[in-house]
Amino acid sequence: MKLNTEFMRETFIASLGGVPKTFLITILTLLVSIPIAFSMALSKLENKNVSSKIVTGYVSLIRGTPIVLQILFIYSLLPSTLNYLIKDVFGLSYNIFKMNKIVYAIIVFSLNNIAVLTELFRSALGTVGHGQMEAAMTVGLSKRQAYARIIIPQALVAALPNLCNTVIGLIKNTSLAFLMAVQEITAISKMKAASGYYYIEAYLMIALIYIIVCTVVQLLFAVIEHQLSGYKKRLAV
């Protein structure tokens, strides 16, 4: 018995076709979740009232349960709920079951990612010393200006390494989008594998594609970090 290299080559090329979809889900999820997570992290830091308790509970629930469970739960609940709302409550005739499945993927991954990013941003904001805010106040900046010009730029740099990990985690999680019938990398090669019973070959190729994708993402972050963290570097003495 030998690995079927011809099949591997074919699967690799076919699965590459799923890469844009993986990136699309990742990018849209980040666009949705980053601003929400940031404002949730700020609300947790700034006021200790009911809303921050709700945020804490939400973060704990999402971070305390497997993402596969969240996917299955929402995917079994959301379409029929939306259908009920559209048909019976609003009386519209839109067929929700025809909606692109990617929308569900983005909703699920956003719900999950918001919780992860809230924690991440909260700890990143915490790394910026309290003195920075005080100094900003004493030179006459408003709280909003202080956040926008002094605190957030520094927090962002502190958050970058963890943000990179989170994005890689998110990309890896998108491999579960096949559970929602989204045709991304894993879904395509799973189908290829089942068609010829060359499972091991197919999965090795998926692994390879993820390694390539993650490498690209890490290089990207390295470039961004280099650009943004100029102020942290000491001159050689």
Partner 1 sequence: MHPFHPEYIITALLKIVPYVGITLLMMLGTVIFGGLIGILLARAKIKRRIIPRAIAEGYIYLTRCIPSIVMLFIVYYGIPFLLLQFGIDVNHFSKGVFVITAFSILFASNLGEVFRAAYLAVDPGQREAAVCSGLSEFQAFYRIVLPQAAVHALPNFSNMLVNLMKEGALAYSIGLIDVMGEGSLLIGMNQGSFSLEIYLAMAIIYWTLTLVIELIFGRLEKSLSKGRKHATSVA
Partner 2 sequence: MLKVKNVSKAFKDNQVLKKVDLEVEKGDVVVILGPSGSGKTTFLRCIDFLEKADGGEIEFDDIKTDLNHASAKTIEKIRKKSAFVFQNYNLFANKTALQNVTEGLTVARKVPKAEAIEIAKKALDKVGLSDKYDSYPVQLSGGQQQRVGIARAIAVNPDIILFDEPTSALDPELVGEVLKIMRELAKEGITMIVVTHEMKFAQDVATKVVFMDGGVVVEEGSPKEIFTKPKEERTREFLMRILPDFDYTI
Contacting positions for partner 1 (CB under 8 A): 1, 60-61, 63-69, 72-73, 76-77, 80-81, 84, 168, 172-173, 175-176, 186, 199-200, 203-204, 206-207, 210-211, 213-215
Question: According to CB under 8 A, which one of 132, 162, 165, 183 is a site residue for partner 2?
Answer: 132
Residue 90 as a binder of partner 2 (CB under 8 A): the answer is no
Under rule CB under 8 A, residue 48 binds partner 2 = no
Distance from C-alpha of 18 to C-alpha of 174, rounded to nearest angstrom: 11
Q: How far apart are CA 15 and CA 189, in angstroms?
A: 6
Residue 168 interacts with, from partner 1, partner 2, none (CB under 5-8 Å by kind): partner 1
Binding partner of 144, given partner 1, partner 2, none, CB within 5-8 angstroms per partner class: none
CB of 38 to partner 1, least distance (A): 22
User: Residue by residue, what is the 3-state secondary structure of the chain?
Assistant: CCCCHHHHHHHHHHHHCCHHHHHHHHHHHHHHHHHHHHHHHHHHHHCCCHHHHHHHHHHHHHHCCCHHHHHHHHHHHHHHHHHHHHHHHCCCCCCHHHCCCHHHHHHHHHHHHHHHHHHHHHHHHHHCCHHHHHHHHHCCCCHHHHHHHHHHHHHHHHHHHHHHHHHHHHHHHHHHHHHHCCCCHHHHHHHHHHHHCCHHHHHHHHHHHHHHHHHHHHHHHHHHHHHHCHHHCCCCC
Q: Report in angstroms how near the CB of residue 218 gets to partner 2 at its nearest.
A: 24
Q: What is the signed CA dihedral for 180, 37, 159, 25, rounded to 10 degrees?
A: 20
Determine the interface stretch with partner 2 among 24-32, 68-76, 91-99, 225-233 (rule: CB under 8 A): 225-233
Q: Which stretch binds partner 2 (CB under 8 A): 5-13, 32-40, 53-61, 135-143?
A: 135-143
Among positions 135, 207, 219, 222, the unique one binding partner 2 when judged by CB under 8 A: 135
Q: Which stretch binds partner 2 (CB under 8 A): 24-32, 33-41, 137-145, 199-207?
A: 137-145
Tokens (6 digits) for 129? 């010393």
The reply on whether position 153 binds partner 2 by CB under 8 A is yes
Residue with smaller CB distance to partner 1, 1 or 139: 1
Q: Which does 159 bind (CB under 5 to 8 A by kind): partner 1, partner 2, none?
A: none
Residues that bind partner 2 (CB under 8 A): 129, 131-132, 134-142, 145, 149-150, 153-154, 157, 230-235
